[in-house]
A and B are shown apart, each in its own frame.
Chain A
Amino acid sequence: MVSNAALDTTIGVVTPENIAFEYHLAGPFRRLPAYLIDWAARWILIFCTIVPLYFSGFFLNFWVVGPFLVAATFLIYFVISWFYGTLMETFFNGRTIGKWLTGIRVIDVDGRPVTGRSALLRNLLRIADLAPMYAISNVSEGVPPIYMIPTGLVGLTTMMMTRRMQRLGDLAAGTMVVIDEKKWKLPMEKVSDSRVPALASYLPADFRVSRTMSRTLAIYVERRTMMTSTRRREIARQLTDPLLRRLNFRPEIDPDLMMYALYYHAFLKDQDTGEVDIKPLRGFSPLMGEALRPTDNLDVGAGIGRGSIRSREVDLSSVAARETERSGRGLVMADEDEQSEDGKTPTPRISDNLAASKKSAPRGIQNESAEDGK
């Protein structure tokens, strides 16, 4: 955890009570949109305050209240343009409109909410962070020299060079900007593939998943939707290849599916329910020793080409019904290089005495097998 803290954009905060928690830092690409939104919001706010003022001024006697209106305009412009960020961050707990929309928040570097003083500092110093100014008149002659574009290089440089991605204002105020996610879904993946429980039922009843392995499984299942099927297999194979050998399973079982089954076994399976529908396997047994039982009701030449089995849940379940029995492809991965073995009897890779064992693998190897998976 400590070693990847420097690479990751998380910052750990340890309170005096020894509670440790982590914040995700917000980088420039989240903060720039927030700033632009705030810039627009500031002007909208100024206009929304001034226009009603003038309207009410017209209903009253404009000659009397007129000068006050003009003075109020100056003051409103001054207060909103200089103290918008300060006031928003102080009263809405570190968030402005732009930050609220982009889901970020300013907090103290030691994790507490931002105080008024630090909010003031970091907002005043934004000017220095936006430096140096670039004059548009350098590019085109016609533009008057008052139009300057802030390049923000100072802030960007300091953000890159500090671990907490702080700009100068943040450094001075001792604040940082963190991602403020509140979305909460039960991180349990719903297993829609009906073959997963069936495959999981072939795991030995006393197969215990170790702590590190369960973490690996959870991370894998959380992130597998972000990877292509080939990549998934490549990653999953690291764990499943030795495991398939230990458990005496057939080596051509799709590693992704195997991972899913292990995940199901570790996290979701209810131990009480004994009955598992193994029909989705179409009679294919994942165990090495078991013969392949032919089934009649399947169309053998269903025209499943190579690569048609994708590991995504939807594909899996729909394709599974059309699997050809001959090659036992219900669980087999459809890699290009594996395709050459289609139809052949897979070469046994483990010794015969292990191959002979059925559903429950020898007891002694279970824990090691789990540890191997790391």
Chain B
Amino acid sequence: MCWTDEFIRELITCPKMVTNPPKETTRAYVNAGMKKTFGLSSIDGHHTFTGFIMQNKFFAENFSIGLIYQTHVEKGGIVLLRCNGKHGGTKQYPHHADFHLHYATAERIAAGQKAEGHIEICNAYATLEGALEYFVDLINVSPGSKDLLITPRKHQLDIFDNEL
């Protein structure tokens, strides 16, 4: 399979729908937190994905939401994207804990490294719920499927509703 950064970006941003809604897993990890997995496919049916939502039970800010591409050609899946909470340092910022994103790169896949090693600080969210909304928009989940992943907002006036 030929990987390029353009192809990775296309996989992340192509319109998607939820094929299997999130369900809580009952694996060993559940002892230390929550994990839900869900299934997605591209609207055109060409690509299949799985996703996960995890949150540590001791530290609410330690969470991760991930998108895994199922290649069907090579064994296993490739983690394309993770939206992480403030779990601790990274190679770029070894002494800081920041909300950050992990992206897969073609260079890392070609080198046989763990795909999602490109890290960017992200200020677009500060909670798991906020990260999930950001993730759903970033990976372009169709409006009809969004409610399967995120809890709809309660009916509440937006202060900027009438802004011209």
Is chain B found bound to chain A in the same assembly? no
